[in-house]
Structure 1
Amino acid sequence: MSTRILPAVGDADAVRSLTTLIGQLPDAEPLAPVTDSTQLVDTLSRLAAESLDELPEVVVVHERIGPVPALELIREVALRFPAVGVVLVTSDASPVLFQAAMDHGARGLAALPLSYEELASRVHAVAQWSAGVRRHLGAGGDPVPGAGGTVVTVSGAKGGVGATLTAVQLALAAQTSGRSTALVDMDLQTGDVASYLDVQFRRSVVDLAAINDISPRVLADAVFRHDSGLALLLAPAEGERGEEVTDRAARHIVGALRSRYEVVVVDCGAQLGGAGAAAVEMADRALLVTTPDVIAVRGAKRTVRMWDRLQIRKAEETTVVVNRHTRSTEIQPPLIARITGTAVAATTVPAHFKELQGVVDAGRVHELEAKSTVKQAMWALAGELGLVRAPQAGHKGGRPRGDRGAVSFRRRRDGTG
């Protein structure tokens, strides 16, 4: 079986010498070289959108690639395309750089000037690694959607407005419709996802905080597989450990999940920390849950303004979800839209807490009856957001559009906060 090798080289002379050498490798299938970091990511995204099998087994990144520095580019490729092995070609073969390359996700390092023997050895080893990862992914039952699945964050305008319940039900709707789905509890001090789903767990999001190269195996070890099929990455049982999850760690974690699941739902809670801010910034859709009362709507307005001041999210890029809605309340969705300057979801969630009390008290919200108007509304909201494969039949409370084209994909800024 041939090994597809994609060179990423910015220098014209280096392109010629590298492609010539690659062409001499046994069973090698050289692909057309890319000349900058943007072209590399775009090429991999296009191939991944067709199929995992279309991705090259090996990408060879030259140290002079740009505009993104080589190590940062390697990190990006490793997070977004975990089945692709990267070899860094560099004139600096020191142990320090070798360790840095490995920390950023490279699978091999070849020193300049290149020799046939060294390049052949590195490419062969990385190709074997890539084949093993693909076998593992194929056996694991979790499809890898190439450039990444949809990330949705759910935040509360204040505590107690129903953000966690919304996040859980959106994730359940996506999973039930046939999309591989991860639910992340990024409410690091007071997260309740485990309590809502009756989960006893050892691992948490903290176990991934210090890992630079989050491989599929490492991710699988940290994730709890729920009976519903959801992959859960939970908040730590000891709230003080939440400080270990920095904004940079949150970016790596959400990026790794995005590369592994079609839908990633992140419960960010009501308190803004660095990790939650990073998740909101990375999200394809950022939801802000409020109830139709003065205190909660003021909290929503305050949150939207803070996100804008901190350059996390603009008001027009935020969607407010109205929970516990009744027709009799004075504060209706159009007024909330004017006050906050955001879009408001067409689907509102009715104020029928009696439907929820039994399953919430038992920690079994995944067993909420299908006839529940709250569940119907939240699953319709999932359809409106494009998180389900098809509209869920019989769900009321809003018309599921299922339009993924409406999702606004935002380029992730490079930085730590």
Structure 2
Amino acid sequence: MTTRILPAVGDPDAARAIVTLLSQLPAAEPAAPVPDATTLLDTLARLAADSIDELPEVVLVHERIGPVPALELIREVALRFPAVGVVLVSSDAGPGLFSAAMDSGARGLIGLPLSYEELAARVQAAAQWSVGVRRHLGRGAADAFPAGPGGRVVTVTGAKGGVGTTFTAVQFALAAAASGRRTALVDLDLQAGDVGSYLDVQFRRSVADLAGIQDISPRVLQDAVYDDASGLALLLAPADGERGEEVDDRAARHIVAALRSRYELVVVDCGTQVTGANAAAVEMADVAVLVTTPDVVAVRAAKRMVRMWERLQVRKAEDTAMVVNRWSKHTEIQPALIEKITKTRATRTPVPAAFKELQAVVDAGRVQDLDNRSTVKQALWTLAGELGLLSTPDTAATAAATPGASLAVRASGPVARLRRGREG
């Protein structure tokens, strides 16, 4: 088998020396060196856009590559192109750098000056690992790993408990999967996650099993993910809530980035409490959704949540999409008022108050079986299209739009109470 090798070397003399030695390796096919990190990532993205099979088996990263540090570049390549074996070339071959390189996703470290024997051994090991990953995946199509920065991430957070956060996240994910997108649903409500209960899934692995793993390879990720019959890939919260403490903000970033590199859409249920893990997810998200109900307590909680996000520099209020659940035209607190109070962007489609439609499937733990005629399902799937979560704006599975809400304000009652507390 021919091993394709792409050197990333900024120094011309070092590049010539590496290519000369690579050319002497049996069955090696060295490509022209790329001079910097940007060119390397662009080259890999262009190759992956055609087919994963077009990617080189091995990438050599020289310690003096720029403009980003070599270890950061290795981490980026490992996350975006997990089937490529990355090897660091450095004058420091000590255990400290070796450990840091492995943590960043490298498959080996070669010391300078180069020796033929060490170069051959490290390249062969990285190439065998790369081939094994691609064989394990059982696919060579471009959809194995999306090219470029990866798929989209949407987080769903509740203003308070009981507003319908998990149900909303699950329906968004089901809608995306029905539209043809490869979708992962992650439960980052680490102590009280109910995604598994809503979908009637029992699985011994959880998001906590990925905490502390720096090199989340496709195989490691697949072992932790449950492939549900609904078409969703599920990464569940730990069954033992105390294990949620193992998932800190750094672990959450690695986990979400690894999922993003493999799936077209990653839906994250962040629960209702702000932790380091779900704050990191909200910060990374392409779309951050906050769910509230149209009552005084929930709207005030929503306002507190967005203010906290702003203080922690997690998310600006105006960059947050507000979903109003359990809405009716008779509700005094309408979406436009909630938008004004929280300074978020209220979605066009509110979700109607129709719990009777949901009770049977929720009690059975089978929300994927909710009838297509359900007004709640129609609204949530329409919202998924509005938020850009579907492969096309209109699919056969997407429900018809729910009529928009109008502002109804009176001088007394809950609206007046909200106005009085607006600056509180």
State which drifts further: 102-111 or 131-140: 131-140
Q: 1:35 to 1:308 in 2, by over 3 A?
A: farther
Task: Please state whether the residue corresponding to 1:153 is helix, strand or coil.
Answer: strand
Q: 1:337 to 1:33 in 2, by over 3 A?
A: farther
1:388 maps to which residue? Answer: 390
Q: 1:17 to 1:228 in 2, by over 3 A?
A: same
CA contact (8 A) 1:206 1:236 kept: yes
2:34 maps to which residue? Answer: 34
Q: Deviations over 1:212-252 (max 9, x none)?
A: 11111111111122221211111111111111101101111
Task: Tell me by how many angstroms 1:139 deviates.
Answer: 4.7
Task: Tell me by how many angstroms 1:348 deviates.
Answer: 1.9
Q: Distance in 2 between matches of 1:101 and 1:373?
A: 52
Structure 2 runs not aligned, ≥5 long:
404-424
Q: 1:192 to 1:140 in 2, by over 3 A?
A: farther
Structure 1 runs not aligned, ≥5 long:
400-417
Equivalent residues in 2 for 1:83-232, closer than 5 Å: 83-139=83-139, 143-147=144-148, 148-232=150-234
Q: Distance in 1 between matches of 2:159 and 2:48?
A: 37
CA contact (8 A) 2:134 2:140 kept: no
CA contact (8 A) 1:181 1:261 kept: yes
State which drifts further: 40-49 or 136-145: 136-145
Q: Which has more radius of gyration?
A: 2
2:296 is equivalent to residue 294 of structure 1 = yes
How many residues were matched structurally?
Answer: 399
Task: Please state whether the residue corresponding to 1:123 is helix, strand or coil.
Answer: helix
Amino acid across the alignment from 1:349: V
CA contact (8 A) 2:61 2:87 kept: yes
State which drifts further: 285-294 or 41-50: 41-50
1:271 maps to which residue? Answer: 273
Q: Distance in 1 between matches of 2:298 and 2:382?
A: 23
State which drifts further: 141-150 or 356-365: 141-150
CA contact (8 A) 1:187 1:267 kept: yes
Task: Tell me by how many angstroms 1:40 deviates.
Answer: 2.7
2:418 maps to which residue? Answer: none
Q: Distance in 1 between matches of 2:341 and 2:51?
A: 44
Q: Distance in 1 between matches of 2:301 and 2:46?
A: 41
Q: Distance in 1 between matches of 2:65 and 2:247?
A: 31
Task: Tell me by how many angstroms 1:97 deviates.
Answer: 2.4
1:49 maps to which residue? Answer: 49
Task: Tell me by how many angstroms 1:193 deviates.
Answer: 0.7
Q: Deviations over 1:326-352 (max 9, x none)?
A: 122222222222222222222221111
Q: 1:335 to 1:303 in 2, by over 3 A?
A: same
1:5 maps to which residue? Answer: 5
Amino acid across the alignment from 2:379: A
Task: Please state whether the residue corresponding to 1:83 is helix, strand or coil.
Answer: coil
Task: Tell me by how many angstroms 1:371 deviates.
Answer: 0.9
Two-structure CA RMSD over aligned residues (Å): 2.1
Q: Distance in 1 between matches of 2:140 and 2:32?
A: 31
**TM, length-normalised to structure 2:** 0.88
Q: Distance in 1 between matches of 2:48 and 2:65?
A: 22
Task: Tell me by how many angstroms 1:387 deviates.
Answer: 2.0
Task: Tell me by how many angstroms 1:317 deviates.
Answer: 2.0
Q: Distance in 2 between matches of 1:329 and 1:361?
A: 27
Task: Tell me by how many angstroms 1:123 deviates.
Answer: 1.8
Q: Distance in 2 between matches of 1:46 and 1:330?
A: 53
Q: 1:305 to 1:366 in 2, by over 3 A?
A: same
Amino acid across the alignment from 1:395: A
